[in-house]
Structure 1
């Protein structure tokens, strides 16, 4: 029996390129969904939507509606090992139930190495990271 994930992984470099490619714009061409909870404090990817994992089930329907027209959605948590992939899976399942006839299909990604990996590379780039506080990350 083969099982395929409802999402693909994206690297920090690929996401940085997506964010910086003009005229791409957040919530039109792509969306970044940060599912960190209290660890959201201390910095985030520019224009990321914070949908904390501890309340994700309660808010996923709203998120699917909000992101329906967006072609690419990237999920992440601190390391993207548990909360990010789980949220991406729940989102994909909810979307397929809410919008069964939706074509073309939205691409769903999980950011490899999460915010920790992304900020360690790009923390000094204001086009990619905002509200950064190294106190939370060093």
Structure 2
């Protein structure tokens, strides 16, 4: 039996392209972005990202898999660097979702199986390139980034 990872990685350019494609049309259930930054959420975010802080994320997983994230084709998780919080949240979400599918509580859309991704480099790398692009980043505040390097 081969091991299938619970999530894959997506690079910032691919994600920016996805965000541009869907824009502010949240009715299109293509990609959902889950930002798990805690008090470091200030200073901007990817357009239409949902903030679910890592400190409370485990308590929200069940609500997310059956609720707002249920119908998306892709769910992308990230934190500041996507080295710990983002991948951990993606793993928790993917495990909970897989368990719900196996228990028959959630349909696995066959060929349209939901893909769980982690943004490589996190918001830090993403904003390095796209901070001045309102088509992919909103609420950007340069002063919030002055002391984060």
1:5–1:125: structure 2 CA closer, same or farther, 3 Å change rule?
Answer: same
Pairing of 1:70-81 with structure 2 (within 5 A): 70-81=72-83
Q: For 1:82, which of 81, 84, 93 is the aligned residue?
A: 84
Count the aligned residue pairs: 138
Judge conservation of contact 1:31–1:48 (CA < 8 Å) in 2. Answer: yes
Task: Provide the secondary structure at the position in 1 that maps to 2:64.
Answer: helix
Task: Choose 115-124 or 57-66, whichever is displaced more.
Answer: 57-66
Select the residue among 116, 125, 137 that pairs with 2:133.
125
Please report how far the alpha carbon of residue 23 of structure 1 lies from its aligned counterpart in structure 2 after TM superposition. 7.6
Distance 2:7 2:25 in 1: 21
Unaligned runs of 5+ in 2: none
- 2:21 corresponds to: 21
- With the length of structure 2 as denominator, give the TM-score of the two structures: 0.86
Question: 1:22 Cα deviation (Å)?
Answer: 5.0
Provide the rounded CA distance (Å) in 2 between the counterparts of 1:95 and 1:116.
Answer: 28
Highest Rg: 1 or 2? 2
Identify which of 62, 68, 71 aligns with 2:70.
68
Match of 2:9 in 1: 9
Paired with 2:61 and 2:14, the residues of 1 have a C-alpha distance of 25
Distance 1:70 1:22 in 2: 12
Over the residues paired in the alignment, what is the CA RMSD in angstroms? 1.8
Which position in structure 2 is the counterpart of 1:102?
108
Give the CA deviation at 1:34: 0.2
Partner residue, 2:56:
55
CA distance in 2, matches of 1:97, 1:75: 19
Structure 1 residue runs of 5 or longer lacking an equivalent are none
